[in-house]
Amino acid sequence: MGLGTGNPDLAGWRGLLPAVCVLLIGLSFLAGLAASPKEWRGQLALVFSPKATAAEIVTAVAAMDARLVRSGGLGNLVVVSFDRETSYADLRRHGAWLALDPVLLGACSLLTAEPSPEG
């Protein structure tokens, strides 16, 4: 069965699929830009590689002179606090893929600060 046969409404939608994908990717990019923090001091939600271990993330946060506030529901998401201004290049150099405002994105709902069983 070729593209020209069958339900003509379905064939028309297939032609729009690439445009819809480009639109969704573009909107996602713009939403990410809008959600990126405007101030590089204070708390930031940092996204690291999905393959990064907890030890690697803690080491990277310490190398950035930041304080770990809490870890996220996802293993590669943490909220950190900076006492000094920092740049996106510095964050990338230490392994952060993305820096976001945790309040603006509602990342607090994704974050679960589980108390440790020891204390």
**Overall size of the chain counted in residues:** 119
Q: Is residue 119 part of a domain?
A: no
Which tens digit of pLDDT belongs to each residue from 68-118? 998 877 788 898 998 888 888 888 899 998 888 777 655 444 444 444 444
* 46 and 26 in a common domain: no
What is the tens place of the pLDDT at every residue in 13-64?
667 777 777 777 777 766 765 665 554 668 888 889 989 999 999 999 999 9
| Same-domain pairing of 46 and 29 | no
DSSP conformation letters of 11-23: HHHHHHHHHHHHH
* pLDDT value at residue 94: 93
Residues 48 and 29 placed together within one structural domain of the fold: no
**Do residues 53 and 103 share a domain?**
yes
14 shares its domain with 71: no
Query: How many domains, in total, are found in the chain?
Result: 2
Q: Does any domain span residue 115?
A: no
Residue 61 and residue 15 share a domain = no
Which residue in this structure is represented by tokens 């080491």? 59
Per DSSP, the three-state class of 7 is: coil
Looking at the fold, whether 57 and 100 belong to one and the same domain comes out as yes
The CATH number assigned to the domain holding 90 equals: 3.30.70
Asked whether residue 27 is assigned to any structural domain, the reply reads yes
Q: Which helix (H) or strand (E) holds 30?
A: helix 8-35
Residue 59 and residue 104 in one domain: yes
Residue 86 lies in a domain: yes
- What is the domain extent for residue 104? 42-109
Q: Do residues 77 and 45 lie in contact, with contact meaning Cβ atoms separated by under 8 Å?
A: yes
Q: Is residue 17 part of a domain?
A: yes
What does the buried/exposed string (b/e) look like for 50-87 if buried means 16 or more CB atoms within 10 Å of the residue's CB? eebeeeebeebbeebebeebbbbeeebbbbbebeeebe
